[in-house]
Amino acid sequence: MQPLKVGDCLWPNIRLVREEERPYSLERNVVFAVFSGAKAEVFCGLVTNHDILQHSSWIFADLVAQKTLFSADPLLDVAKALSLMDQHFLEALSVMRGSLFLGVVTRSSILTALLSREQDLLKEALRLKVVAETKHQQTMVWVERLAALNDAARSLLGVLAHTSIESEVLQAGIEALCELLGARYGAVGIVDDVGALTEFIYAGISAEQAHQIGRLPQGRGLLGVVIGENVSLSLADMSKDPRSAGFPARHPAMTTLLAVPISQNGRVYGRIYLSDKYSGEAFTKNDEQLALSFARSLSLVIDNAREIEEVKRARQRLDYIAHFDALTDLPNRTLFSDRALQVLAQAQRKQEIIAFLFLDLDNFKAVNDSYGHAVGDELLKAVAQRITACLREGDTPCRMGGDEFIIMLTNLHDRLDAAKVASKILLCLSEPMQLRQLQIYSRASIGISIYPDNSASLDELLAQADSALYHAKKLGKNNYQFFTSEMNNAAKHYLRLEYHLRHALDLNELVLHYQPQVRIDGGNVIGMEALLRWQNQALGTVMPDQFIGLAEDTGLIVPIGAWVLRAACKQARIWQLAGMPIRIAVNLSGRQFHHFQNQQHLLELVLDVLEETGLSPELLELEITESVLMHKLDVTLDTLKKLKNIGVRISVDDFGTGYSSLSYLKRFPLDTLKIDRSFVKDICTDANDRAIVSAISAMAWQLKLELVAEGIEDQEQLDFLGGQQCSFGQGYYFSRPVPAEQASVLLSQSAIIGH
């Protein structure tokens, strides 16, 4: 019999359509052949129900346009056609002779043709068996037909790995095997990795009988031996074998049994059993070989099918990685953008309100620096879970990267609903989180933009939410803000400022001004505090309160701080060589101090600057705020001791506004406390401020620390401080911060230089 060709397997359920038509309904098992031209004479491609379900609103022209046209000659072997379909994941394959469309083949149509061919082979095998004249002739015909049947079975079962009708294929296979061997009953059982039945297909038993039996074989008797020991069994009389107790009690009586394992490379996938030949004869070795051949083919198919399933799972994983954040399992930027564009298009048609919330954690860097990235990752996962818990099913949270999240709230009844959700999220995040035996407190800032109020563009809405977030940060963090045009202007100013600041060092735009520190009882200058100013051609003079926070946020404070230290020490050395050896005070910001501290570069930087400028270490005073001192106490203490050992002075700036704890004052090697100007401002009118300044003065005197009062503006303030054991002062009463040239004049006019 000739091998089966594609032209023998044409699928009957085919519908011819024009490319401009649109599929309005689905018909089961129908394949659409799409044509174009005035008389629909040009074949364009095939469309299946799967294609229509994916893009239900497309016309046929759009559906075929996204697919590559594959075709087969009608004389092509079905095995090659199946390989072509597998290679390109095709549900159907057009059959063409040149440019002439002949029809379509599918796995189901090939399966039907193979089943028909197999039935013909079975009939032929039985006919030849009956008419065979000699045992030799019978044997030869039997062997030939078995080989043909085995090839047909392999082709038939090859479809199994790529179709959704495994049960039908197994049913056809066991029925064919029963018919070939003349068996009254038969079954195929497929098991999982632990031996439990996942598929059980039987032949020779009606649905009513199966209902009466009521249960599947338990696998504890003969069939259990076949699977457990991976061996074949052939019994002429089952009743004489004690292991036959495993068959259900209401199963029709059976006498003979042939059972073979379905296995591959030692792994057992299941078993086949046949019982009671119509002839009353026992099963022969030839029967067993045929059953084993069928089982081997089936094992190859199952093994291949499971490999394909692994490939599918791998593809699903890759698809997941492409659309979801691996750490938090939230949608990533790509998936979020796709969803947002769809939601905005729908909102435009239905006139709905959409809100976008841009959320950023306020203290994430501190958690990472203090406890490590593993705890930081745990915090991000916990935050993602809490955000999700605050949302409705139709809302979409997304992790943009780092500690930034975007939330899309759909179909809002009122714009204030966005504020309610933002408040709910902030409240939820304010509750402590237990992470790795640590209690972590997390806060967040949220910016909100609204469609259609702010914009109809997704990019603009996200940028506006980001601007509102920036404004929320500026207002003290741990709050939410709606986007307004004023916020947008502020954000643009921030970006403009950042752009110029990034070039300030290279363009030599930074300068230092100096404010004298004066002995209260004598009026002589004992030191200068170096204060940074920025002279930009486009922006003019920019004061520190306008750009220091920006420098902190961007990390530019680190190189700027190093420049300030070097320039201040260089100027102090000039004064020292001119016979005016006064100390120079330089502020170290929190970001600057901890950056150097983590990198163990602060001590090296100070030593390099002192060596480079030649300044005596005792003339350099580093000013650090209380909050900087209290971060990582042990490491900070060690760093300050090393600085103290080389002779550098340590001053606590803005004292009284932070922790103000005697315990840390005792531990740290400090030289000076600076009373914050907020206490000095109202000491003549506010009894509380006077009490605070008096207490700080007494404490500094007891601890033998120098005390400098900041912000002195009049004689009355000076008189009060002079009576409170406060030795030194700084403020507009003495001098505003001035350039180095004017500071030099002030020094030369001072009655006494030094202590």
How many Cα atoms within 13 Å fall on the side-chain side of residue 511? 15
Burial string for 560-584 (b: 16+ CB within 10 Å, else e) reads bbbbbbbbbbbbbbebbeeebbbbb
Q: What angle do CA 485, 490, 493 make, to 5 degrees?
A: 125
The predicted pLDDT at position 600 comes to 56
- What ranges make up the beta strands (E) of 372-417? 396-401, 404-412
- Start-to-end CA distance of the chain, whole Å, equals 117
CB contact set of 648 (below 8 Å; sequence gap of 6+): 606, 617, 618, 620, 621, 622
**3-state secondary structure at position 278:** coil
DSSP secondary structure of 74-120: TTSBHHHHHHHHHHTT-SEEEEEETTEEEEEEEHHHHHHHHHHHHHH
Token output for 647: 């002779």
Angle in degrees, CA 344, 345, 350, rounded to 5: 90
Q: Which parts of the chain have pLDDT scores under 50?
A: 148, 152, 156, 159-165, 597-599, 751-755
pTM of the model: 0.48
Collapse the DSSP code of 206 into the 3-class scheme (helix H, G, I; strand E, B; otherwise coil) and give the result: coil
Q: How many CB atoms lie within 10 A of CB 406?
A: 22
User: Was domain 517-527+555-736 assigned CATH 3.40.50.300?
Assistant: no
pLDDT over 90, % of the chain: 34
Burial of 165 per CB tally in 10 Å (0-12, 13-18, 19+): middle
Cβ atoms of 728 and 517 closer than 8 Å: yes
The residue with tokens 């270490």 is: 617
Gap between the Cα atoms of 546 and 543, Å rounded:
6
Cα gap 615→610, rounded to integer Å: 5
- Of 461, 480, 478, 460, nearest in space to 469 by CA: 480
At 37-81, the pLDDT tens digits run 878 888 999 998 888 888 888 888 888 888 888 899 999 998 888
Give the separation between CA 22 and CA 38, rounded to whole angstroms: 18
C-beta neighbour count of 638 within 10 angstroms: 12
Q: Which two tokens stand for residue 661?
A: 């704890």
Q: How many CB atoms lie within 10 A of CB 236?
A: 12
Write down the pLDDT at residue 165.
39
CA distance 228 to 627: 71
Backbone φ and ψ of 219, nearest 5°: 75, 20
Question: Which DSSP letter does residue 242 get?
Answer: G
**Amino acid 735: pLDDT:** 93
**Residue ranges covered by each domain of the chain:** 6-107, 111-308, 333-488, 517-527+555-736
Residue 596 CA: distances (Å) to CA of 66, 392, 752: 57, 45, 36
Three-state DSSP at 19 gives coil
Any residues with CB less than 8 A from the CB of 416 and at least 6 apart, and which?
Answer: none
Give DSSP secondary structure letters for 529-554.
EEEEEEEETTTEEE-HHHHHHHHHHH
Which CATH number applies to 111-308: 1.10.1740.110, 2.40.110.10, 3.40.50.1820, 3.30.450.40?
A: 3.30.450.40
Residue 572, C-beta contacts closer than 8 angstroms, at least 6 positions apart: 528, 582, 583, 584, 613, 615, 619, 620
The span from the CA of 632 to the CA of 600, in Å, is: 14
Rg (CA), the chain: 43
Secondary element (H or E) of residue 303: helix 285-323
Per-residue CA distances from 710 to 224, 489, 502 (Å): 91, 34, 31
Alpha-carbon distance of 526 to 581, in angstroms, equals 9
Fold of the domain built from segment(s) 333-488: Alpha-Beta Plaits (3.30.70)
Quote the Cα angle for 740-743-747, to 5°: 135
Quickly tell me which residue has 């065979």 as its tokens.
132
**What values do phi and psi take at 258, rounded to 5?**
-125, 120
Q: Which long-range contacts (CB under 8 A, 24 or more apart) does 245-250 make?
A: 245/220, 245/221, 246/217, 246/218, 246/219, 246/220, 246/221, 246/222, 247/217, 247/221, 247/222, 248/213, 248/214, 248/215, 248/216, 248/217, 250/212, 250/213, 250/214
Residue 298 has, within 13 A of its CA and on its CB side, a CA count of 27
Q: What is the DSSP string of 33-88?
A: EEEESTTS-EEEEEE-HHHHHHTTT--HHHHHHTS---EE-TTSBHHHHHHHHHHT
pLDDT in tens, 650-692: 998 877 665 555 667 778 889 999 988 888 998 988 888 888 8
Distances 754 to 160, 256, 517, 579, 650 between C-alpha atoms, Å: 96, 117, 11, 10, 18
Helix (H, G, I), strand (E, B) or coil at 15: strand
> Residue 229 has which token pair?
């020991």
Q: Provide DSSP, 480-506.
A: EEE--HHHHHHHHHHHHHHHHHTTTTT
pLDDT at 244: 66
In this prediction, residue 357 carries a pLDDT of 97
In this prediction, residue 215 carries a pLDDT of 63
pLDDT of residue 533: 94
d(CA 483, CA 454): 8
Structure tokens belonging to residue 82: 């199946």
Please list, in sequence order, all residues whose beta carbon lies within 8 angstroms of the beta carbon of residue 750, skipping any fewer than 6 positions away. 516, 523, 524, 525
Cα 196 → chain centroid: 37
Tokens of 533: 């100013």
Q: Cα–Cα distance between 83 and 88 in angstroms, integer?
A: 9
CATH class of 6-107: alpha beta
3-class secondary structure, 302: helix
Q: 3-state class of 407 per DSSP? A: strand
Strands 583-587 and 620-625: parallel
* Residues 42 and 18 sit within 8 Å (Cβ to Cβ): no
Instruction: Centre a 10 Å sphere on the Cβ of residue 72 and count the other Cβ atoms it contains.
Output: 22
Buried b (16+ CB within 10 A) or exposed e, 722-755: eebebbbbbbeebbebbebeebbebbeebeebee
